[in-house]
Amino acid sequence: MSHIATSHSPASAALTLETLQRLALWLLIASGWFVLIEPAPYELLFAVCLVFFLPTGLSVPRVTAPFIIFLTLYNVGGVASLAQVLNDSKAVMFTAVSVYMAATSMFLAFCVAANPMDRMAIIRNAYVFAGVLAAITGLIGYFNVGGMGAAWAPIQRAQGTFKDPNVLSTFLIPPAIFLIQGFMLGTIKWRLVAGGALLVILAALFLAFSRGAWLSMAGSVLLLVGLTFIVTPSLKLRMRIIVLVTLGAALLVALIAFLLSFEQVRMLFTERASLVQDYDAGETGRFGKQLNSIPMLLESPLGFGPVQFRNLLGGDPHNVYLNAFASYGWLGGLSYLLLILATLAASWNAIFTRTPWQHHAIAVFCPLFTTILQGIQIDTDHWRHFYLLLGVIWGLFAATVAYGPPKRSAARSPQGG
Neighbours of 375 (CB within 10 A): 23
One-letter-per-residue 3-state SS of the chain: CHHHHHHHHHHHHHHHHHHHHHHHHHHHHHHHHCCCCCCCHHHHHHHHHHHHHHHHCCCCCHHHHHHHHHHHHHHHHHHHHHHHHCCCHHHHHHHHHHHHHHHHHHHHHHHHHHCHHHHHHHHHHHHHHHHHHHHHHHHHHHCCHHHCHHHHCCCCCCCCCCCCHHHHHHHCHHHHHHHHHHHHHCCCCCHHHHHHHHHHHHHHHHHCCCHHHHHHHHHHHHHHHHHHHHHCCCHHHHHHHHHHHHHHHHHHHHHHHHHHCCHHHHHHHHHHCCCCCCCCCCCCCHHHHHHHHHHHHHCCCCCCCCCCHHHHHCCCCCCHHHHHHHHHHHHHHHHHHHHHHHHHHHHHHHHCCCCCCHHHHHHHHHHHHHHHHHCCCCCCCCCHHHHHHHHHHHHHHHHHHHHCCCCCCCCCCCCCC
pLDDT at residue number 272 = 66
Report whether pLDDT(8) > 60. Answer: no
- pLDDT average, residue stretch 293-321: 88
Question: Comparing 14-23, 66-75, 86-95, 252-261, which segment has the lowest mean pLDDT?
Answer: 252-261
Q: Between the CA of residue 29 and those of 22, 45, 72, 133, what are the distances in Å?
A: 11, 9, 23, 12
Report whether pLDDT(417) > 90. Answer: no
CA atoms within 13 Å, Cβ hemisphere of 303: 33
Q: What is the percent of the chain with per-residue pLDDT over 90, rounded to a whole number? A: 62
What is the rounded CA–CA span in Å between residue 88 and residue 84? 9
- pLDDT average, residue stretch 330-353: 97
pLDDT at residue number 4 = 39
Report whether pLDDT(23) > 90. Answer: yes
Give the global pTM.
Answer: 0.88
pLDDT at residue number 188 = 87
Highest mean pLDDT out of 67-71, 249-253, 257-261: 67-71
Report whether pLDDT(372) > 60. Answer: yes
What is the rounded CA–CA span in Å between residue 199 and residue 326? 39
90 Cβ contact list (under 8 Å, min separation 6)? 306, 307
CA atoms within 13 Å, Cβ hemisphere of 25: 26
- pLDDT average, residue stretch 285-290: 70
Q: Between the CA of residue 280 and those of 275, 283, 324, what are the distances in Å?
A: 9, 9, 20
What is the rounded CA–CA span in Å between residue 244 and residue 314? 47
CB 333 within 8 A of CB 144: no
Neighbours of 12 (CB within 10 A): 10
- pLDDT average, residue stretch 304-319: 86
Mean of pLDDT over the chain: 87
pLDDT band at 232 (very low <50, low <70, confident <90, very high): confident
Q: What is the percent of the chain with per-residue pLDDT over 70, rounded to a whole number? A: 89
- pLDDT average, residue stretch 71-89: 94
pLDDT at residue number 336 = 97
Q: Pick 377 or 63 by higher pLDDT.
A: 63
What is the rounded CA–CA span in Å between residue 314 and residue 259? 36
- pLDDT average, residue stretch 195-209: 94
Report whether pLDDT(342) > 70. Answer: yes
What is the rounded CA–CA span in Å between residue 223 and residue 266? 29
Q: Pick 405 or 330 by higher pLDDT.
A: 330
Neighbours of 202 (CB within 10 A): 21
**CA geometry: angle 134, 140, 145, nearest 5 deg:** 160
CA atoms within 13 Å, Cβ hemisphere of 286: 16
pLDDT at residue number 5 = 40
Span 235-247, pLDDT tens digits: 777 787 888 778 8
pLDDT at residue number 37 = 79
pLDDT at residue number 45 = 93
- pLDDT average, residue stretch 175-188: 92
Q: Between the CA of residue 369 and those of 1, 74, 113, 227, what are the distances in Å?
A: 58, 19, 20, 13
